[in-house]
Structure 1
Amino acid sequence: MKKTSSVKETVFVGMMGAISAVLMLLNISLPFVPGFLKFDISELPALFAGFFLGPVSGCGVIVVKILLKILFQGTDTGYVGEVMNVLGSMCFILPASLIYRWKHTKKGAVIAMAVSTVLVSIAFIFINAYIAFPLFSKLYGMPMEAIIGMGAAINPRITDLPTLMLFSVFPFNLFKHGITSFLTYLVYKRIGNRLRAIVGSPEKGSYKAAEGTE
């Protein structure tokens, strides 16, 4: 019985990873940030898995998503973008899943997603400022001033790297992960029974098990 459950969980993670990969393709540009910042909701299935099965499964969905993306699309960033995506997604999924397992109620889910949204938005400031942007600048031979200029063309308050982080990267990630959290809260309750049919009854502490509690 335990082996069957493990197989179902593995299939579930794979399925969520595939959905996540498709959602990653459906990205759009936003008018208030530079075009290189793409909005998508591909972390939504990973958050489902993290709440339903735990943080390891949530991270598994992220890995499957990126592997499928590389397999079918390759990379045009020298894998820098893919690595940054994994790091950022895990900064979002891990805290949310861990907080939720500690306080597995509706209120706990809201707190978990709110805290994770703020944490990942702050984390992306440092990831982009000290890792991603310098690597992209070197990879494409593009001066950092040119990257900053792309932000300044959208928002005149952007004049250097710190203001690019403050007025572009930070609000973008607040918006992106805030929307993902909001959709998770709305959609998860509606598909909980279907998830149970695929994986089986959730363990104590899952979002569905706590659905009727505050």
Structure 2
Amino acid sequence: MQANTETKTLRTGGQDRDRIRKLTVTAMLSAVAFVLMFLDFPLPMIMPSFVQMDFSDLPELLGSFALGPVYGVLVALIKNLIHLLLAGSTNGVGELCNFLLGASFAWVAGFVYQRNKTRRGAVLGAVLGAVVMGIFSVPLNFFLTYPAYVVLYGMPMDVILGMYKAILPSVDSLLECLVIFNMPWTLAKGLLDAALCMLIYKPLSPILHGRH
């Protein structure tokens, strides 16, 4: 009886330490992701200037692979909550969009990797996550993000379309703009994050997994 109690205590203690480690790593990755949100830059020849390139989804992908998809989603959530509290300038619209896209990316990638924990599984998960994020960006921006910007900032949709037309004059609807511009842009961002993740995951693995 005493041996069973001691075994159960040791097991519980180990689970508590593992939970604390995962939460600590999640907090660390969230802080890095928050900083990366500020290192954004425009590519005006490819996208309108209000759409910025950044690599803040990379820590979410790292967390999803190292800790599981739930933690990857948690990194996306914490990152955007901090940004909303400390630097939010979009009344939460930009943060909500960023969270939903990042969460879809991290969840799909981590879900696939959990079922095939090999390099091939990681690559497949990251690519599928990027594809899902790219496709999801179209309805998300069409039904939520852009209409919210029109209401909140009084920016006519014609002005938004005009920014796309300055790059490709033949486009004539928001849906067309999102399919031609935003979907491949979001996909490319995801694939770049995936490539960076493959490069740095192994060197960071001891830290992410609590090994010394």
TM-score under structure 2 length normalisation: 0.89
Deviation at 1:190, TM superposition (A): 2.0
Identity across matched positions, percent: 31
Q: In structure 2, what is the equivalent of residue 175 of structure 1?
A: 188
Q: In structure 2, what is the equivalent of residue 137 of structure 1?
A: 150
Q: In structure 1, what is the equivalent of residue 73 of structure 2?
A: 59
Q: In structure 1, what is the equivalent of residue 11 of structure 2?
A: none
Deviations 1:21-53 (CA, angstroms, capped at 9, x unpaired): 000110011130011111111111111110011
Deviation at 1:166, TM superposition (A): 1.8
Deviation at 1:70, TM superposition (A): 2.0
| Greater CA drift, 121-130 or 137-146 | 137-146
Instruction: Indicate the structure with greater helix content.
Output: 2
Instruction: Map 1:17-166; keep pairs closer than 5 Å.
Output: 17-30=30-43, 31-73=45-87, 75-166=88-179
Contact 1:5 1:200 (8 Å CA) reproduced:
no
Deviation at 1:184, TM superposition (A): 0.6
Deviations 1:147-175 (CA, angstroms, capped at 9, x unpaired): 11111112223221122112211121011
Contact 2:64 2:110 (8 Å CA) reproduced:
yes
Aligned length: 198
Contact 1:20 1:46 (8 Å CA) reproduced:
yes
| Greater CA drift, 14-23 or 103-112 | 103-112
SS at match of 1:35: coil
Letter in 2 for 1:96: A
Contact 2:81 2:95 (8 Å CA) reproduced:
no
Distance in 2 of aligned mates of 1:157 and 1:105: 44
Greater RCO, CA 8 A, separation 6+? 1
Whichever of the two has the greater Rg, that structure is 2
Deviation at 1:79, TM superposition (A): 0.8
Letter in 1 for 2:158: E
| Greater CA drift, 149-158 or 16-25 | 149-158
SS at match of 2:129: helix
Runs of 5+ unmatched residues, structure 1:
202-214
Deviations 1:98-148 (CA, angstroms, capped at 9, x unpaired): 011111111111111111111110000110011111111111111111111
Deviations 1:46-79 (CA, angstroms, capped at 9, x unpaired): 1111001101111111111112212321x22111
Letter in 1 for 2:197: T
Contact 1:96 1:116 (8 Å CA) reproduced:
yes
Q: In structure 2, what is the equivalent of residue 16 of structure 1?
A: 29
Distance in 1 of aligned mates of 2:122 and 2:170: 35
Deviation at 1:200, TM superposition (A): 4.3
Contact 1:41 1:180 (8 Å CA) reproduced:
yes
